[in-house]
Each structure stands twice: as C-alpha cells, then as structure tokens.
A and B are shown apart, each in its own frame.
Chain A
Amino acid sequence: MWNLAQLTDLIHGWLYETFPPAWALAFEMIIVGIAVIGLFAGLGLVLVLMERKVSAFMQIRLGPNRVGPKGLMQSLADTLKLLVKEGMTPDGVDRFLFNLAPFVAMIAAMLLMAPIAFAKDFQIWDLNIGVLYVTAISSLNVIAILMAGWSSNNKYSLLGAMRSGAQIVSYELSAGLSILTVVVLTGSLQISDIVTAQSNGWWIFKGHIPVIIAFVIYMIAVTAETNRAPFDMAEAESELTGGFHTEYSGMKFALFFLAEYINVFIVCAIGATLFLGGWMPLHIGEWTAFNGIMDWIPSSVWFFGKTFFLIFLMMWFRWTFPRLRIDQLLNLEWRYLLPIGMVNILLVTVIAILKWHF
C-alpha cells in the first residue's frame, strides 16, 4: 500500500536486468537528477506562491488572485517572465565569478537533497554520516553569497555578502549544537537510523525539555542561516537595495531566489526528520486503533506535511517580526543561543546516559 520503495525497486531491478551494471548505474543517476530538478522546480513554484499567500493573509491582504483560479498560476507567470528577461552581466564585474555564483548556490542546495528521506525506504543516498554531511554542505552556501557579493563590484552587494557571511558562520554553531542533541540521543549520524529511532514516538516528545529547547534554537538558527526575515541582513531591501543579488537579473536572479526557497525546504526537512520523526507517523503509546489509522496515511504525506508545517512556521516568523540590526543579531547568537545550546547539550548528554528520556 502506497509504498514508493516498490516503485524504486521495480525500476532498479528492470535496469540491472536489461543493461550492464555500469550503464544501469548511469541511468539511475540520470533519473535521480531529473527527479531532483523536477522537485526543485515544483517546490520553487509552490513555495513562492505559498509565501505570497501566507504573507497576504497575515497582513489582511488578498495576495495574488488574478492569474488562474485564485491566483494559482501566478508563480508560473513569474517564472515565464524571468525566463524571457535578459540575464545581464554589468560592466566592471568579475565575469567568471559573477556568472558562476548562482550555479554554486543552486548546486549547494541540490547536494543537500541527497540524504533526505522523503518516504519509507525512499532516499537518494543513505550515507552513514548523513547529518554531518548536511551541516557541512549547508555551509557551502556562504561561498556562493560571498562570490556574488564580491564579483558584483557594488558596495551594496559587498556589504550584504559580508553581513551574510558573519551571520551564517555564527548561526551555524547553534544549528549544529541543536542537531547534536538528537545525535546524542540516537547515537547515530545516519538519517535512516534517526528516523527508525523515532518509531515509538518523535524525539520532540520522547526527549522532552532539552529537545524542545534544541528545536526552538534550531528553528531560530536555520531562519538566520537561510537569510530570511527577521534575519535577512544579507538582503535588507530598505538598506542595501537587494543585498548580494543587487546586480543580478533574469534567470540568474531566479536561481538565487530558487536556491533560497530550496534551502528553506531542506532545513525544514532536516528539522522534521530530526525532531518530528521524518516520515514516521504519529504514534501514541498503546492506542493500537489510533496508531493503525495513522499508519494508513502514506509516509510521504507525513514527511511533506511536517516539512510544510515547519515552512509555514518560518513564514509566520517572517511576516510577524521586524528585522534585527547586525549587532542585535550577533548578540542574540553569542549571548543567548550559543550558551543555552551548550548547556542544553550537557543536559541532553546527562539525560541520555541516565536514560531519562522515554
């Protein structure tokens, strides 16, 4: 019943029967690549529309409502517009880096897709250091931003990129520490192990106080890491026009824009996997009837439901809170989140050793 693993096994088996192993592997890679690009395009369209609708409702507006039924085709129309626009390369920029930066941003976002478990037994690459891989690759993003800012030959771009660098480097620490709490409780860095460990209850329930603190810190830190309001110092429309992508237009701008939303999706997917049990359905103790109904809902629905709930939470932050100043931003990280995170990881270690979690 609704098992994506059967589909992948079917394709895998057929490919290895029909072609020699090297070719079959190559074809599998191509299929996965196309699937990931397709997912990117779909997510970009859905998330941009969702952001605009959510922001509109939170500000007592209507949001896009002209293109298609209820404005559902708005992001398609926007994509079309961006596609036909000229991708300008201004005079005086470092042409190579300028044109490379959006692709680096995209590739960094794409690489992060590999260890995410989208459904039961449905994962691109279940490597044994999945969580470490995610934290390592997500810091590549700052290189793309610095590249764009430096090569643009524009003071606003450079300022935006520098702020973004300071921000991402400092908030990575708290994000890493809060991820570590779950790793301490699970005892494994492998994503599939972490999900399996939550079969009798999600970590946010099983790990109680320290995991809830870690979850809150994680959400704050990743909001900062993806450069979204209230931490959008890197863009800061009112101060830096467009921040690091001031000089970009057309499809190159769209790639940055898309990469931002993909990063939002990925950090929320990781958050859902670590704290909310990934594709694991909600199980409450011994209520077998209730658990049965929950099992009946497909695992991919659980995964995307949790992820989109977290994305909605981040959008809620964005459209509620005013932007922080750079000093307030660094204060929040170094004076509040990091010390609390450090104490928290000590607490969670004690709890894991004494088996005080459920």
Chain B
Amino acid sequence: MFLTRYFSEIAEAVGSLLKGMRMTGYYFTHHKEIITQQYPDNRATLVLPERFRGEVVMTHTENNEHRCTGCTACELACPNGTIKVVTKFEVNAEGKKKKAVDKFVYLLELCTMCNLCIEACPTDAIRMAQTFEHSVYDRSQLTRILNKPDSKLQEGVE
C-alpha cells in the first residue's frame, strides 16, 4: 500500500516534469514563436494592438471643426484631474449666448490612460490615439491644449 503510493507519486512527478520539459523544448526548437519586438529597429512596421491607448486627442475635421461642446463631462469623469475644460460664451447668429469650449487643457503627465473620459463624452469629441513616444525635455511640454486654434464646433452637434 505504502509502496504503491510511493511509486505512483514518483511516476506522476516524473511525468509532469517531462511535460514541462516538452513545452520548453518545443519553444527551444521553434524559433518562430519568439514574441520579442525589436522596438526601435521596427518602428516603421510596428503594429500596435487595436485597443492600445497612448494619449487623448481631439478629432478635427478638415474644416478645422471639432465636436466638443464644452460640457465638461470628461473633466468630471477623470479620476485624477488630467483634463481642464475652460469654457467661454459665444454669441451665435441668432443673437443667443451659448457655452462653447475655449481651451481643452490636457495634462499628459497625470493621465493614466484609463479611457473614462472617452466613455463619458456624449458627442465623441475625444478619442485615444496610439502614439506612445511621449518623452520630452521639459514637463511643461506635457501640458497640451487639444482644440486647435480657431477651431469651431461642428454644425449640428449639441
């Protein structure tokens, strides 16, 4: 009884060890499985996963129009104060005052790429870009204003 358990334990152990060695042996003989990316060399052909999040950007059309209404939903959604939306009041054609975005300030150094602002945005004005090479020589360069100068709110976005 003791001996059968003893030997079955040994057989089981040897079997599982051999299984592990077969796995690493397979990797050793199949060099095509290598997953290492030689990053700075393959920058031109680098393929990032679809859902990779690099930084928040605001989409602009070719007429320099964006979709941000200045509702500050993103600012409220942000867990660590990365976004500051500075709003102003614009007088439109009918003489009505309307809230609009003046500066969309984005502090990249505080951002954790959590995607909550993008989910909060009711008009899909902002999105996550895939750029990730963010190193700069001065911290102030990481404070970005996302709406381009003289950009307008796109027609029909409320």
Among B10, B24, B34, B35, contact of A316 (Cβ-Cβ < 8 Å):
B24
Q: Is A60 an interface residue (CB 8 A)?
A: yes
A123 to chain B, nearest CB (A): 33
User: Which segment, of A12-20, A51-59, A92-100, A184-192, faces chain B?
Assistant: A51-59
**Interface CB pairs A-B, < 8 A, 14:** A57-B31, A58-B24, A58-B27, A59-B24, A59-B27, A60-B27, A60-B34, A61-B35, A316-B25, A319-B24, A320-B21, A320-B23, A321-B20, A336-B10
A61 to B35, CA, bound (A): 6
CB of B36 closer than 8 Å to a CB of A:
yes
For window 30-71 of B, CB contacts with A under 8 Å fall at 31, 33-36, 38
Residue of B20, B24, B27 contacting most chain A CB atoms (<10 Å): B24
Instruction: Decide if B10 touches A61 in the complex (CB within 8 Å).
Output: no
- Whether B136 sits at the interface, judged by CB under 8 Å, is no
Q: Which residues of B contact A61 (CB under 8 A)?
A: 34-36
Q: Chain A residues in contact with chain B, CB under 8 A?
A: 54, 57-62, 316-317, 319-321, 336
Residue of A nearest to B26 (CB): A58
Cβ–Cβ contact B27 & A57, under 8 A: yes
B17 sits at the interface (CB 8 A) = yes
Contact A316 to B33, CB < 8 A, known contacts A58-B28, A60-B27: no
Asked if B28 and A54 make an inter-chain contact with CB atoms under 8 angstroms apart, the answer reads: yes
Query: Is B35 within 8 A of A60, CB to CB?
Result: yes
Q: Using a Cβ–Cβ cut-off of 8 Å, how many residues does chain B contribute to the interface with A? A: 15
Q: How far is the CA of A49 from the CA of B34 in the complex (A)?
A: 18
* Chain B: minimal CB distance from A175 (Å): 19
Contacts of A317 in B (CB 8 A): 21
- List A contacts of B17 (CB < 8 A): 320-321
Shortest Cβ distance from A57 into B: residue: B28
B31 touches A316 (CB 8 A): no
Residue from B23, B24, B34 in contact with A62 in the complex, judged by beta carbons closer than 8 Å: B34
Contact B38 A320, beta carbon cutoff 8 Å:
no
Top 4 closest pairs, chain A to chain B, by CB:
A58-B24, A320-B24, A62-B36, A320-B20
Which residues of B are in contact with A by a Cβ distance under 8 Å?
Answer: 10, 17, 20-21, 23-25, 27-28, 31, 33-36, 38
B146, chain A: closest CB distance, angstroms = 38
Q: What residue in chain A is nearest B21 (Cβ atoms)?
A: A320
Q: Which residue of A lies closest to B36 (CB)?
A: A62
Shortest CB-to-CB span from A81 to chain B, Å, is 23
Query: Which residue in chain A gives the minimum CB-CB distance to B18?
Result: A320
B21 touches A316 (CB 8 A): yes
Q: Which residues of A contact B21 (CB under 8 A)?
A: 316-317, 320
Q: Chain A residues near B35 (CB, 8 Å)?
A: 60-61
CB-defined contacts of B31 to chain A, threshold 8 Å: 57
CB-defined contacts of B28 to chain A, threshold 8 Å: 54, 57-58, 316
Give min CB distance, B37 to chain A, whole Å.
10
Q: Please determine whether A60 and B25 come into contact, CB atoms closer than 8 angstroms.
A: no
A299 and B158 alpha carbons, distance in the complex (Å): 86
Q: How far is the CA of A319 from the CA of B31 in the complex (A)?
A: 16
- Which A residues are in CB contact (< 8 Å) with B34? 57, 60-62
* A158, B18: Cα distance in complex, Å: 34
Name the distance in Å between A43's Cβ and chain B's nearest Cβ. 22
Chain A residues contacting B23 (CB-CB under 8 Å) are: 320
Task: Report how far A62 CA is from B36 CA in the complex, Å.
Answer: 7
Residues of B contacting A316 with CB < 8 Å? 21, 24-25, 28
Write out the residue numbers on chain A whose beta carbons fall within 8 Å of the beta carbon of B33: 60
In the complex, A58 Cα to B10 Cα: how many Å? 26
Q: Which residues of B contact A57 (CB under 8 A)?
A: 27-28, 31, 34
Q: For the A-B complex with A54-B28, A316-B21 known, give 16 more contacts whose Cβ atoms are closer than 8 Å.
A: A57-B31, A58-B24, A58-B28, A59-B27, A60-B33, A60-B35, A61-B34, A61-B35, A62-B34, A316-B24, A316-B28, A319-B24, A320-B17, A320-B20, A320-B23, A320-B24
Residues of B within 8 A of A62 (CB): 34, 36, 38
A64 to chain B, nearest CB (A): 12
B134 CB, min distance to chain A CBs, angstroms: 25
Instruction: State how many angstroms separate the Cβ of B26 from the closest Cβ of chain A.
Output: 9
Closest-CB distance, B40 to chain A (whole angstroms): 11
- CB neighbours (8 Å) of A60 from chain B are 27, 33-36
CB distance from A234 to the nearest CB of B (A): 22
Q: How far is the CB of A204 from chain B (nearest CB, A)?
A: 17
User: Nearest Cβ distance between residue B9 and chain A, in whole angstroms?
Assistant: 8
Query: Once the chains are docked, how many angstroms separate the CA of A302 from the CA of B122?
Result: 74
Distance in angstroms between the alpha carbons of A230 and B16 in the assembled complex: 15
- Residues of chain A with a CB closer than 8 A to B25's CB: 58, 316
Complex Cα distance A320/B18, Å?
10
Residues of A within 8 A of B36 (CB): 60-62
Nearest residue, chain A, Cβ from B25: A316
